[in-house]
A and B are shown apart, each in its own frame.
Chain A
Amino acid sequence: AQTVTQSQPEMSVQEAETVTLSCTYDTSESDYYLFWYKQPPSRQMILVIRQEAYKQQNATENRFSVNFQKAAKSFSLKISDSQLGDAAMYFCAYRGSFSGAGSYQLTFGKGTKLSVIP
């Protein structure tokens, strides 16, 4: 079974600085999808960024970028120019590429709570 590990339960960053959240996963698959979700106090899970395992290029969305190391099974999220609105719980998630009912399942890490200091 796939597992996703986020080793940093909590992190903090100064406003306008850069922070990196780590995520590792375990899988025997060669093709899969990785996601970072943000959950602010408003509770809604918001998709931050997505990476397809067969693409070597790291995904980027504005101030958010990932460092995807397939061989090391590592998928870290870098937030540049941190803003107060970035404060939230961040979840790393894995989805396999297999077909059938199991393909609908997302495996989440336990989350990292990010605080932004003004």
Chain B
Amino acid sequence: DTEVTQTPKHLVMGMTNKKSLKCEQHMGHRAMYWYKQKAKKPPELMFVYSYEKLSINESVPSRFSPECPNSSLLNLHLHALQPEDSALYLCASSQGAGRYGYTFGSGTRLTVV
């Protein structure tokens, strides 16, 4: 299995909702990442987990809450989002710290209404 699987593919949520994005990989990668990508822009790093521990938090607002339950799963819990949080959320994983490249999922397209 050489894929990173993200669910759901599309999500529409209200500003008072709570939802979660899920990411799964079975490549034995021990680093996992959340990126946010706005239209026609490059991805922006949000969080990095290394060996299930949060390694990097790029000053992301607390309405985004990451969780890494085990080495294969990465969740992003969403609460009280704003319309400007609408974006494509990409999950990625890497062997080690990414010297050989990252494997990305196909993303969750999030719309906040």
Residues of A within 8 A of B (CB): 33, 35, 37, 42-47, 50, 52, 91, 95, 97, 99, 101, 103-106, 108-111
Contacts and interface: CB of A to CB of B under 8 A. Distances in A.
B76 to A, nearest CB: 16
Interface stretch (B18-26, B63-71, B91-99): B91-99
Contacts of B101: 35, 47, 50
A50 B103 CA distance: 13
- Looking at chain A's contact residues, the main secondary structure is mixed
A50 B100 CA distance: 7
Contacts of A37: 104
A110 B41 contact: yes
A24 to B, nearest CB: 15
Contact of A45 (B40, B56, B90, B94): B90
Contacts, number: 61
Interface of B: 31, 33, 40-43, 45, 48, 50, 55-56, 88, 90, 92, 94, 97-107, 109
A24 B26 CA distance: 34
A52 B90 CA distance: 25
Given A33-B99, A91-B42, A105-B56, 4 more contacts: A33-B98, A37-B104, A45-B92, A106-B102
A43 B37 CA distance: 10
10 closest pairs, A vs B, by CB? A108-B42, A45-B104, A44-B106, A47-B101, A103-B97, A104-B48, A43-B107, A101-B55, A43-B106, A104-B97
B42 A111 contact: yes
A44 B105 contact: yes
B104 A44 contact: yes
A110 B48 CA distance: 21
B31 to A, nearest CB: 6
A37 B35 CA distance: 15
